[in-house]
Amino acid sequence: MYVLVKNHPVVPCRKLRDYLPEALKVLTILLILGLSVFPGRSAAQSELQYADGSGRMSYPTLPKLSALEMNAAKLQRKITVDFDNVPLAGALSQIAAQADLKVSLGHGLLDGTDPVTLHAEDVTVLQALQETLRGSGLWLQISPTGYLILIPYTDNVTKAQEAATVEEQLLPQHQVSGTVTSAADGQPLPGVNVVVQGTATGAATGIDGEYSLVAPSPNDTLIFSFIGYIVQEVPIAGRSVVDVALVPDTQELDEVVVIGFGEKTRRLMTESIGTVSTDEIRKLPVASPDQAIQGRISGVQVTNVSGLPGSPVAVRIRGVGTVGNTQPLYVIDGVPVGRGGGEHSNPLASINPADIESISVLKDASAAATYGMQAANGVVLITTRRGQMGKPTITFDSYAGIQQFPQLWEMLSTEELLKLDQVARDNYNKQMNLEPGSPSYLTQHPDLSDPVLRARDNSQEWIDAAANKNAPIQNYNLSVSGATDRLNYFVSAGYFNQEAIIKHWTLDRYSFRANSDYQVTDWFKLGQTFSLSHEYMDRGVNAGGDGFLLNNAAEMPPFFQIYDENNEIPGNRYGFHGNLDVAGIVRGNQVGMNEIVWNHNYDTRVLGGLNALITLPYGFSYESRAAIDYGIGKSYDWRPPFTAAELGFDRNTPEFNDTRTDALGQNFFNALRFDNTFGGHSLNVLAGVEVIKGQDSRLNVGGQNFLSLNPNFFMVVRNVETKQIRGNMGEWGSVGYITRVSYDYNEKYLLTATIRRDGSYRFSPEGGRRWGTFPSISAAWRISEEPFFNFPAVSELKLRGSWGQLGNDETAWFPHVFRLSVIPDYGSGETTKQAPSPVSFVNKDVTWETVETTDFGVDVSLFNNKLDILATYYNRLTKDFLIGIPLPRITGFSRTSVNAGTVLNRGVELEANYNFNIGQAFFDVGANLTTVYNELVEIAPGISEYSSGNYRTAVGYPIGYFFGYKTDGFYNTAEEAAQAPLEPSRSHRPQPGDVRFLDINRPKTEEDNLPEEVLWVEGEPDGQLTPEDRTMLGKTIPGYFYGLNLNGYWKGFDLSLFFQGVGDVQIYNEHAAGHMGGTEGYLNKLKESMDYWTPENKDAKNPRPVATDPNGNNRFSDRWIENGDFLRLKSLQIGWTLPQSITTSTVQRARVYLSMTNLFTITPYSGLDPEVMTYGSAGSQTNAGTDQGNVPQPRTFQVGVQLQF
Q: What residues from 759 to 788 belong to the interface with another protein (CB under 8 A)?
A: 759-761, 765, 770
CB of 643 to another protein, least distance (A): 7
Q: Which of 400, 514, 735, 1017 binds another protein (CB under 8 A)?
A: 735
Between 156 and 652, name the residue whose CB sits nearer to another protein.
Answer: 652
Q: Which of 7, 154, 1141, 1146 binds another protein (CB under 8 A)?
A: 7
Between 28 and 515, name the residue whose CB sits nearer to another protein.
Answer: 28
Query: Do 692 and 666 touch, CB atoms closer than 8 A?
Result: yes
Query: Do 282 and 296 touch, CB atoms closer than 8 A?
Result: no
| Mask for 648-677, x = binds another protein (CB under 8 A) | -xx-xx--------------x-xxx-----
CB of 859 to another protein, least distance (A): 36
Contacts of 271 (CB under 8 A, 6+ apart): 259, 362, 363, 364, 366, 367, 752, 778, 800, 802
- Restricted to residues 714-733, the positions that interact with another protein (CB under 8 A) are 722, 726-733
| DSSP one-letter code for 1090 | G
CB of 9 to another protein, least distance (A): 8
Total residues contacting another protein by CB under 8 A comes to 134
Between 471 and 882, name the residue whose CB sits nearer to another protein.
Answer: 882
Distance CA 1071, CA 1065 (A): 18
CB of 837 to another protein, least distance (A): 4
CB of 317 to another protein, least distance (A): 27
Site membership for another protein, residue 451 (CB under 8 A): no
Site membership for another protein, residue 890 (CB under 8 A): yes
| DSSP one-letter code for 371 | G
Q: b/e per residue, 1043-1057, with b = 16+ CB within 10 A?
A: bbbebbbbebebbbb
DSSP sequence for 943-995: ---EEETTEEE-TTS-TTEEEEB-EEEE--SHHHHHTSPB-TT-SS---TTSE
Distance CA 757, CA 775 (A): 9
Between 9 and 792, name the residue whose CB sits nearer to another protein.
Answer: 9
- Restricted to residues 554-593, the positions that interact with another protein (CB under 8 A) are 581, 584, 586
Distance CA 301, CA 909 (A): 12
Q: Which of 28, 278, 322, 551 binds another protein (CB under 8 A)?
A: 28
Q: Which residue in 82, 79, 104, 85 sits closest to 93, CA to CA?
A: 104
Starting from the edge strand earliest in sequence, which strands make up the sheet with 174-182, in order? 210-215, 174-182, 244-246
- Restricted to residues 677-716, the positions that interact with another protein (CB under 8 A) are 687, 689, 691-693, 704-705
| Mask for 1023-1062, x = binds another protein (CB under 8 A) | ----x-----------------------------------
Q: Which of 200, 520, 616, 921 binds another protein (CB under 8 A)?
A: 616
Site membership for another protein, residue 233 (CB under 8 A): no
Between 15 and 119, name the residue whose CB sits nearer to another protein.
Answer: 15
Site membership for another protein, residue 985 (CB under 8 A): yes
CB of 1011 to another protein, least distance (A): 12
Between 818 and 1053, name the residue whose CB sits nearer to another protein.
Answer: 818
- Restricted to residues 790-819, the positions that interact with another protein (CB under 8 A) are 813-814, 817-819
Distance CA 927, CA 1042 (A): 7
Contacts of 1014 (CB under 8 A, 6+ apart): 1004
Between 80 and 821, name the residue whose CB sits nearer to another protein.
Answer: 821
CB of 574 to another protein, least distance (A): 18
CB of 944 to another protein, least distance (A): 5
Between 548 and 1042, name the residue whose CB sits nearer to another protein.
Answer: 548
Distance CA 1005, CA 263 (A): 64
CB of 1013 to another protein, least distance (A): 7
Using the contact rule CB under 8 A, the part of the chain among 4-12, 926-934, 973-981, 1144-1152 near another protein is 4-12
CA angle at residue 1143 from 1137 to 1151, to 5 degrees? 25
Site membership for another protein, residue 38 (CB under 8 A): no
Site membership for another protein, residue 523 (CB under 8 A): yes
Site membership for another protein, residue 452 (CB under 8 A): no
Q: Which residue in 876, 611, 897, 648 sits closest to 763, CA to CA?
A: 897
Distance CA 294, CA 788 (A): 41
Query: Do 69 and 482 touch, CB atoms closer than 8 A?
Result: no
Distance CA 540, CA 546 (A): 11
Q: Counting Cβ atoms within 10 Å, is residue 1013 exposed (0-12), middle (13-18) or buried (19+)?
A: exposed
Between 792 and 984, name the residue whose CB sits nearer to another protein.
Answer: 984
Query: Do 1183 and 1174 touch, CB atoms closer than 8 A?
Result: yes
Contacts of 378 (CB under 8 A, 6+ apart): 300, 317, 318, 328, 329, 361, 362, 363, 368
Site membership for another protein, residue 171 (CB under 8 A): no
- Restricted to residues 858-877, the positions that interact with another protein (CB under 8 A) are none
Distance CA 759, CA 206 (A): 52
Site membership for another protein, residue 121 (CB under 8 A): no
Specify the 3-state DSSP secondary structure of 122: strand
Strand 147-152 relative to strand 102-104: parallel, antiparallel, unpaired? parallel
Site membership for another protein, residue 1107 (CB under 8 A): yes
User: Half-sphere exposure (CA, 13 Å, Cβ side) for 173?
Assistant: 10
H/E run at residue 397 = strand 390-404
Query: Do 260 and 741 touch, CB atoms closer than 8 A?
Result: no
Q: Which of 46, 80, 710, 891 binds another protein (CB under 8 A)?
A: 891
CB of 674 to another protein, least distance (A): 11
- Restricted to residues 60-99, the positions that interact with another protein (CB under 8 A) are none
Q: Packing angle between helix 88-98 and helix 125-133, nearest 10 degrees? A: 170
Site membership for another protein, residue 13 (CB under 8 A): yes
- Restricted to residues 823-852, the positions that interact with another protein (CB under 8 A) are 823-839, 841-843
| Mask for 906-945, x = binds another protein (CB under 8 A) | ------------------------------------xxx-
| Mask for 1148-1167, x = binds another protein (CB under 8 A) | --------------------
Between 13 and 918, name the residue whose CB sits nearer to another protein.
Answer: 13
